[in-house]
Amino acid sequence: MTDLLPVLTDTWDAPRSWRLSTYEKHGGYDGLKAALKMPPGDVVQAVKDSGLRGRGGAGFPSGMKWGFLPPDDGKPRYLVVNADESEPGTCKDIPLMLASPQHLIEGVIITSYAIGSKHAFIYVRGEVLHVYRRLLEAVAEARRVGYLGTDILGSGFDLEITVHAGAGAYICGEETALLDSLEGLRGQPRLKPPFPAVAGLYARPTVVNNVETIASVPGIIAQGADWFKGMGTERSTGHGLFSLSGHVTTPGQYEAPLGITLRELLDLGGGMRGGRPLKFWTPGGSSTPLFTAEHLDTPLDYESVGAAGSMLGTRALQIFDDTVCVVRSVSRWTEFYAHESCGKCTPCREGTYWLKQILRRIEDGAAGSGDIDLLLDLCDNILGRSFCALGDGATAPITSSIQFFRDEYQAHLDGHGCPFDPAASALFPYTPRTRTPGTALVGAGAGGHR
Amino acid sequence: MTAEPVQTRSGYDGETLAALQHDAAAITARYPDPRSGLLPMLHLVQSVDGYVSRDGIMFCAEQLGITSAEVSAVATFYTQYKRKPNGKYTVGVCTNTLCAVMGGDAIFDELSEHLGVGHDETTDDGAITLERVECNAACDYAPVMMVNWEFFDNQTPESATVVADRLRAGEAVAPTRGADSVCSFKQMSRVLAGFPDGRAHEGVGAGEASLAGLRFARERGATAPDRTGADDAPGDGTGTDQAAGEVPGTITGEPGSSAERTPATSSDLETGKDKKPGEDAR
């Protein structure tokens, strides 16, 4: 059986885990010291050899991404860390940066050295005040001891890190929207190509990587590519944070090799809340098609999850038991996508708004007999026709939930409303406020969340 | 009075304007292109006015040499920028799916009724602006409430109401994971503009849920594998010499070894100073 494997989480229970001194006491910055003795190209090669793939959702091989940068022309190139963790269910980077920000900072320095960047940026969402404080302080601590600045550890390598707070926009997790936002613009995705590796921040060659990806780099350099490849599966190598949330006995962060199954994670964590049956779950956040109990033994690696019809995404395992109405859940996610659509492309801007309205009337028992098929038809017109992955992601919970739970949608139509007691899925007893069908959500205000 | 008159269409008095200009210069200096400073600059004007005011928009436009329309276009895109005076505390209840079904909807309804305001509305005393917020990356602590973007984990309608009442009463309220007490909206905005408030070392490193897997791993003696041998190490290996004479990291430790770190000496708990990097790195 696959077991837990603390690497990035290993220092999180240490006293004042976020301090540089704590991190160094546990081997921190050994990776940087080793890297600075290597030619930059060897660092890139080590990461290629490790098989590390992007931990932000797409799973693209990180070393290959770095290798796409054009040859050095003497002008600036940038590393930008995507710390805009906002995908519903995803909650791994925020605790990592709160507990062990130096893990990320060391990774940023090594990666910048590897790709020849002298100015790196960490774009963290603005809605996590204390994480931003910790990151600013982590950079200051690293600078005080000479890990940042000029001639780092006598290597001749110079680096500054700017930690940049966003201001509330899910779309800025999309890498080109993030770059526009970092340039002081509205966060809207750019047409690709050119890819950021060729024309990214300020139209210069840029690597954009997720927090966990970059935080995994120091271990690879300090312990070796073979050490990293010794974990996980052949094509999904290494360790990963699995974030268990929802109706489980022990929600939290579980660090394990890629390829562990949900059944194994649940066995480790004490199973489902109150022993209730698992109804549905997301393997990688709300933008990845839903799984059910039949997928408990699907290895959580990129290939196996893909073959089973979903995506590994960010390993955001949101677990819902049989008290939960799938229509209510999907309807709420859809409101999220409609709220967060940046408005740049028509299929997403208009489509998510339509989807939201149809799901709302299904929830309220006011839907017509053709509305389920209308949802599917709309999804068909959004998926693959949107400018970026937000529109695609919006369709994933809808099409997958209809695939597995069409009867439940039909029950809302036939029964003119939701057959579930919303209080049953809560963690505490309460009496739901009376809902008036069709008007229950009025009052949120134009442009509001609901 | 400042020595030289400053041309501005914003309505700030001389002292406020001079302070803002000083901070704005510090912001733009962080970036190769000053325009990148617009987001932090908007946080900065919120730290003075409590929202993105007309004056704030004019100010940002003048600092960056862009039009007020361009600034407004950005300010209206992001939900953290407020276009009307915000309460001293933004109380946000996560009502995205997972938090909602686990109780977030009930918490929001209870707070809304208790405070007499709906989404994006502010109490008459100016203390609290209530919001439904989207997923804030704390799903393992659901249902979650944010106060000025500090974490209040594992909430119930009762706990959330108590927090709101204490905030309105002017008490110091501690988040679950964050600083020792919640700061004001204006103070928060100044930090988000990139000006530290010296509170980074307050609060916990990790909450219980963040440590869940690690605790099970410790119980089971599960550790990451040993490295496959020094010969596989990149570089000449001298970079890791320092570790050889020290307490081994858990990465190379066995269950029950000293790598299972409980603090043993006072130096384990030392937090005040960071040592210089070892000379062996040279």
Q: What is the pLDDT of residues A83-95, one digit of tens each?
A: 999 999 999 999 9
ipTM exceeding cut-off 0.90 for this assembly: yes
Is A15 among the domain residues? no
- Flag the least confident range among A277-291, A428-442, B89-103: A428-442
Option in B103, B249, B269 nearest A427 (CB):
B103
CATH number at residue A84: 3.40.50.11540
- Which among A130, A139, A206 is the top mutation candidate for probing chain B, defined by the most B β-carbons within 10 Å of its own β-carbon? A130
Residue A449, pLDDT > 70, answer no
Confidence of residue B280 (pLDDT cuts 50, 70, 90): very low
Is A10 among the domain residues? no
Report the share of chain A in percent with pLDDT over 90: 95
Is A12 among the domain residues? no
Beta-carbon contacts of A374 under 8 Å, excluding residues fewer than 6 positions away, are A358
Task: Please report residues of B whose CB lies closer than 8 A to that of A184.
Answer: 33, 35-39, 64, 74
- Length of chain A in residues, anyone? 450
Examine the domain organization and report whether A135 and A157 are in the same domain. Answer: yes
Coil, helix or strand at residue B68:
helix
Final residue in a domain of this structure, among A321, A345, A376 = A321
Question: For chain A, what is the domain count?
Answer: 3
Examine the domain organization and report whether A288 and A337 are in the same domain. Answer: no
- Which among B190, B210, B246 is the top mutation candidate for probing chain A, defined by the most A β-carbons within 10 Å of its own β-carbon? B210
Examine the domain organization and report whether A117 and A221 are in the same domain. Answer: yes
Examine the domain organization and report whether A37 and A134 are in the same domain. Answer: yes
Higher pLDDT among residues B191 and B277, named by residue: B191
Distances in whole angstroms, Cα of residue A127 to Cα of each of A85, B134, B135:
10, 10, 10
- Give residue-wise pLDDT tens across range A223-270: 999 999 999 999 999 999 999 999 999 999 999 999 999 999 999 999
The tokens for A357 are 């309205």
Examine the domain organization and report whether A251 and A285 are in the same domain. Answer: yes
Option in B40, B98, B236 nearest A246 (CB):
B98
CA distance A289 to A279: 14
To the nearest whole Å, the CA of A403 is away from the closest chain B CA by: 19
Final residue in a domain of this structure, among A189, A206, A229 = A229
CATH number at residue A283: 3.10.20.600
Instruction: Verify whether the Cβ–Cβ distance A26 to B261 is below 8 Å.
Output: yes
Report the share of chain B in percent with pLDDT over 90: 75
Residue B242, pLDDT > 80, answer no
Examine the domain organization and report whether A283 and A197 are in the same domain. Answer: no
Residue B237, pLDDT > 80, answer no
CA distance A103 to B60: 35
Report the share of chain A in percent with pLDDT over 70: 96
- Give residue-wise pLDDT tens across range A31-52: 999 999 999 999 999 999 999 9
- Give residue-wise pLDDT tens across range A182-196: 999 999 999 999 999
> Structure pTM?
0.90
Examine the domain organization and report whether A127 and A150 are in the same domain. Answer: yes
User: Does A433 reach chain B within 8 Å, measured CB to CB?
Assistant: yes
- Give residue-wise pLDDT tens across range A16-31: 999 999 999 999 999 9
pLDDT at B215 (0 to 100): 97
Examine the domain organization and report whether A84 and A152 are in the same domain. Answer: yes
Task: Please report residues of B whose CB lies closer than 8 A to that of A223.
Answer: 227, 233, 251
Examine the domain organization and report whether A313 and A369 are in the same domain. Answer: no
Residue A423, pLDDT > 80, answer yes
Confidence of residue A124 (pLDDT cuts 50, 70, 90): very high
Is A195 among the domain residues? yes
Task: Look over chain A and give the mean of its residue pLDDT values, rounded to a whole number.
Answer: 95
Nearest to A340 by CA among A90, A87, A170: A170
Q: How many CB pairs under 8 A join A and B?
A: 412
Question: Which chain A residue has its CA at the smallest distance from B202's CA?
Answer: A130
CA distance A159 to A151: 8
- The mean pLDDT value for A398-406 works out to 98
Is A271 among the domain residues? yes
Instruction: Verify whether the Cβ–Cβ distance A251 to B178 is below 8 Å.
Output: no
Query: Sheet of A278-282: strands edge to edge?
Result: A252-257, A239-246, A316-321, A278-282, A291-292
To the nearest whole Å, the CA of B26 is away from the closest chain A CA by: 12
To the nearest whole Å, the CA of B271 is away from the closest chain A CA by: 7
To the nearest whole Å, the CA of A20 is away from the closest chain B CA by: 7
Confidence of residue B6 (pLDDT cuts 50, 70, 90): low
Examine the domain organization and report whether A302 and A351 are in the same domain. Answer: no
The tokens for B219 are 């119980």
To the nearest whole Å, the CA of B270 is away from the closest chain A CA by: 8
Final residue in a domain of this structure, among A210, A229, A248 = A229
pLDDT at A434 (0 to 100): 62
Examine the domain organization and report whether A191 and A308 are in the same domain. Answer: no
Nearest to A401 by CA among A345, A342, A320: A320
Examine the domain organization and report whether A31 and A175 are in the same domain. Answer: yes
Is A14 among the domain residues? no
CATH number at residue A384: 1.20.1440.230
Residue A260 domain boundaries: 239-321
- Give residue-wise pLDDT tens across range A51-80: 999 999 999 999 999 999 999 999 999 999
